[in-house]
Every structure is written in structure tokens, then in C-alpha cells.
Structure 1
Amino acid sequence: MASSSQEQLTTYKAVSVITFLLSIYGGLNYVGVPEGDLAHTPYSGSNLLLFIYWGIMYVWQLIYIIQAFFSLDEYRSSVIQLVGWHFPVFNVLAYIWFEFFTRGHYFLSELTLIINFINTLILYFGHKTFAVKPLTNWLLIHVPLVALTMSWLLYAIFWNGAIWLHIHKTWGRIVANIFIWNFLLVPGFFLLLFNDWATGLSFSFLMFALGFGQLGTKVFALQWIFAFVIAGILLLWSFIAMIVGAPKQIIDVEQAPLLVVEEERTTTS
């Protein structure tokens, strides 16, 4: 039984590393959106800042792989059980999105983003990564695998959707001026309920990217103003949440994520 479990663990490690490299490969082959109307939607952000965002996420995920996958500590093995197959699934779907998006299959790329977003939400609420402790493990697991990925996926759903539906004219921008406030409501929900300042900071960075991208597209417009306002609010809110207290923990052990339970067992023993 132990041998079978070890084999499964080894298989999972190999699949996770391979899919991580696959995701990076897809990112390196990304050529962007063709010039023209498609490149100037109300959700088109600064390419430079978006590339920086992906770079930070990849580096953070690499640190997770090194720390969690190449450690002989049994406690670190519980990290893998906590995350399950959500991490390699994200990587595969990210690669598929790159392929569809680069080739102009925007409906299929939108569908891929939605599926991946659901995958990340299941990881967030199903395994309750927001309650992982101590803070070092929260930074190792929740930030690179959930906060950064979930924030990007929601932003990409709006951006990809705007490209797919050719939203770049006046009425489309008016609607976008309304829907952009979802980027305050959604992270605000996670900040208010879970004190999840990592998600707040992730959305804040993406809104700064959107603001600079829109400023370079249409100076006389509301979208970049709203983006900067949302980014500023989230930045301030996230820093306050970071200073005031750690991410909220779950009191009921049965509702806690696997990693929390494992840590409590280790402490009591």
C-alpha cells in the first residue's frame, strides 16, 4: 500500500513538472493579439505589465515545485495531497489557452479560461487554501497556485471575451465601464471574508496593467480612470489587511484543509 502511494506521488511530481514546463513553453510561443480593433478592447492591458505578472507567477510556482516536490519531509508531501491535480490541470489548460488564443480561436480560448477558472475555484473553496498555515506555507501554496492564477483567469475571461465579441466601439465601452467594477467586488469578497490580501494585491496589479493599457489606447475615456481607482482601493485595502492580521483560519478541524490538519497532528504528536 505504501509502495503504491509512493508511486502515485512520484507520478504526480513528474506530471506536475512536465505540465509546468509545458505552460512556460506555451507562454514563450505567445505572440499577442493581431494589431487592429482586436488589440484595443476595453480590457486590453499593458503587455509589459502583464508579462511581468506572468513572470512573477512562474518564478513563484517554480519555488513551490522546488520546495514542495524535492523535499523528503513528510509534511511537505501533504502539500501535494492538498493541491491534488489542480496544479497540473491549470498548467495544461493554460497551454491550451495559449494555443487557441494565438491562433485566433477566441471562443475556444474563452471556454478554456472558464473551465480553468472553475478548476481554481474548486482548489480555493474545496481545499480551502486560504486557511493554510503557517504564513510561510500560505505564501508557498496559496499565492502562486491560487491567488495569482485565479486573479489572472478572471481578468483574462473579460479580456478574451471582449476580443471574441469584438467589443471596442462606444456601446461596448459603456458596458465595460460598468462590468469593470467586478474587479473590485470579487477581490473585495475575498478580502472581506478571508482577509486574502494576496488575491487583493494580484487584482490590484492587473488593474494597474489595465489602466496603463487603456491610457495608451484612449486618453479621453473612463475605463483607465476606473481601473486606476479600483487598483488604488485594492492596494490600500490589501496592505491594511496584511498589517491588521493574517489570512483568516478555519476553526472547525473537519472543515480545515489537509495541510492544516497534518500540521495539527504533527504538533500534537
Structure 2
Amino acid sequence: MSENGVAASGGRRLNPFSRREEFSPQALILHRVCTLVTYLVFLITAIYYTFKAPGEGHKPRRTIWGNNRPTAFAQNSVITSIYWIVIFILQLVYAWSLYSSNVVYVNAAANIGSHYIASNLLLFGFIHLWVRSYFWLALLLIVINFFNMSAAYFRHSTTPRLIHIGTIAGPLAWNFVALYWVGAMAVHKDNLAARIVGNIFIWGFAAYGIFFLAAFKDYTMGFCLSVLAFSTGVGQFLGKIIELQWIFAFAIGALLFVLSLAVAFPAWIGRDIFPRGEVVSEDRERAPLLQDE
């Protein structure tokens, strides 16, 4: 092997985000420990600040949903909380995959491990900033994590389905919506101009979801964004019924749901008529853990 090849190989070993064909026992142990620790840290922090505001720091200090103030992208706390509960449960599948005897699952889980661990740490920091009303700093972490999760998606788009949903598609979809949610709080405007801008920008939900449905046939992203669009719609409806935002949000949620179902149904019955890039390969789609049937 040439010196350049050796250097490149060494660089990949040192880069925690590089894709690898196999992992040493030591590397797997490190992934397992870091996954468990960051999962628990993020989960406990999210639960704690859902019900209790911080006792110190910048004022005003509120719970996570206490800062869900009326904006063009305010969400419904119940729907989004249920969404995250499902994500947390599905992430246990990812954690289990690190202990699997199936090399496909182990390597797939380990390859996205650094992105997943980084996401947990960034969202842990986001919550602490959000509940203390440091909205611009909170938005910065959301932006960084958006790039982190986007990189995970595009570099590991063939991750087995159940791992993909809990660790990539679900968090990335929420992170995209959070750009609007947190950004609206950072700008802190709820006037007519802000509402008009919100009426335009909310269609970004539809464009983003359709992109993944068309380019990757990823109906999981479509369903996730559909749920979050409905959450935004309910949040807007309960806030200001006379506004157009809730109508647009419900329309986008319904559109993404129908399109996602149209992409998913042929795959579920084994008659996929869409020829373009798959999130999961045909062989993996038939694997026992990944069966959609």
C-alpha cells in the first residue's frame, strides 16, 4: 500500500464519523457505553424539564413546553411529546443492534454511532439553553445538529429500517421542524408580517418531505414530517383559529401522509413500482428485523 493509502486509512480510523466495514471489540464497547450514557442523559433531561423549570440561569426560566409561546410555528405539546416517546423507544432497537450477532446490524449501528452520540449531546445542550430562554444559542445547536443528522442520513441512507427510523429519520425530521420552531422564538415576532412569512415558510415542510419521498423513497421521513405538521396545525388551531397557518399545516400533514402511504404500500406488499434510490436495500428489507409486513 502506498504512503497516501496508509495515511488515508489511518485518517479514517481516527475519524469517528468515517464509514467502516468492521469494528474492533474495543470500538464496539466504546459505542455501547457512549450510546447508553448519552441516551440516558438526554432522556432524563428531557423528562425532567418537561415537568419542571430550571431553578437558576437566565430569566424567564420555563419548562420545555412553557417556552412553546404563540408563534407561527408553535407545536402541540401532546402530539410532539408522543412523537418523541416513540423515537426514544425505537432507539432501544438501535442500542440492541450494537449487541446483535448479525454483523449487518452491528456495523450499521456502529457506523451511525458517532452521529447519534453527537446528536444526543447537542440536544442535551439545546434543552438547557431552551428552558433558560437562550433562544439564539439554542437555535445554533439545532443548526449544528441539523447538519450532523443530515450528514448521517446522506452517508448512511441504507441503514436497516428500524434503526433508521429511531436514530436518523425521526430525529432529523424533528430537527428540521425545530429550525422553524426555535427560530420563530428567537426572532420573537407574532405580528402580521411574521404570520405572512410563516404562511410561506411552512410549505418548506412539504418540499422537504417530498424531496425524501422522491429521491430516497423514504416514507418514514414522510410519515414523521406528516405527524409534526399535524402537531404544528393543532398548535396553531388552539392558538389563533382565524389564522391560515393551521389550515396550511393540516393540508401539508395530509399531503405528506397520502404521498408517504403511496410510497410505502407497494413496498409493504412487495410490489415496489418506484425505481429510484431506496433507503433500505431489497435484501435488507426482507431481513427478519426489517419486515414491514
* TM-score tier after normalising by the smaller chain length: 0.7 to 0.9
The CA RMSD measured in Å over matched residues stands at 2.2
> Who is 1:29 aligned against?
48
Which stretches in structure 2 are left out of the alignment for 5+ residues? 1-22, 50-62, 288-293
- C-alpha offsets along residues 145-188 of structure 1, whole Å, 9 cap, x if unaligned? 11101110011110001001112111101100000000000110
> Who is 1:266 aligned against?
none
TM-score normalised by structure 1 residue count = 0.84
- C-alpha offsets along residues 44-103 of structure 1, whole Å, 9 cap, x if unaligned? 01111111111011011112212x022233333212333140111111111111111011
- C-alpha offsets along residues 106-146 of structure 1, whole Å, 9 cap, x if unaligned? 0110000000010000011122x2x34xxxx32x2211111
> Would you say 1:76 and 2:105 are equivalent positions?
yes
Please state which structure has a larger fraction of its residues in helix.
1
Which stretches in structure 1 are left out of the alignment for 5+ residues? 264-269
Tell me, in whole angstroms, the C-alpha distance in 2 between the residues paired with 1:248 and 1:71.
Answer: 31
Instruction: Report the identity percentage.
Output: 28
> Who is 1:62 aligned against?
92
Tell me, in whole angstroms, the C-alpha distance in 2 between the residues paired with 1:197 and 1:248.
Answer: 14
Tell me, in whole angstroms, the C-alpha distance in 1 between the residues paired with 2:277 and 2:29.
Answer: 30
> Who is 1:43 aligned against?
73
Instruction: Verify the 8 A CA contact 1:110 1:160 in the aligned structure 2.
Output: yes
Pairwise CA distance, 1:7: 1.0
> Would you say 1:170 and 2:170 are equivalent positions?
no
> Who is 1:7 aligned against?
26
Once superposed, which parts of structure 1, at least 4 consecutive aligned residues long, lie more than 4 Å away?
A: 246-251
Instruction: Verify the 8 A CA contact 1:211 1:224 in the aligned structure 2.
Output: yes
> Who is 2:170 aligned against?
148
SS in 2 for 1:39: coil
Tell me, in whole angstroms, the C-alpha distance in 2 between the residues paired with 1:33 and 1:234.
Answer: 26
Question: Cα distance 1:62–1:147, how it changes in 2: closer, same or farther (>3 A)?
Answer: same
Structure 1 segment 1-269 matched on structure 2, within 5 A: 5-30=24-49, 31-34=63-66, 39-66=69-96, 68-127=97-156, 129=157, 131-132=158-159, 137-138=160-161, 140-245=162-267
Larger RCO, structures 1/2 (Cα 8 Å, 6+ apart):
1
TM-score normalised by structure 2 residue count = 0.78
Question: Which amino acid is 1:17 matched to?
Answer: L
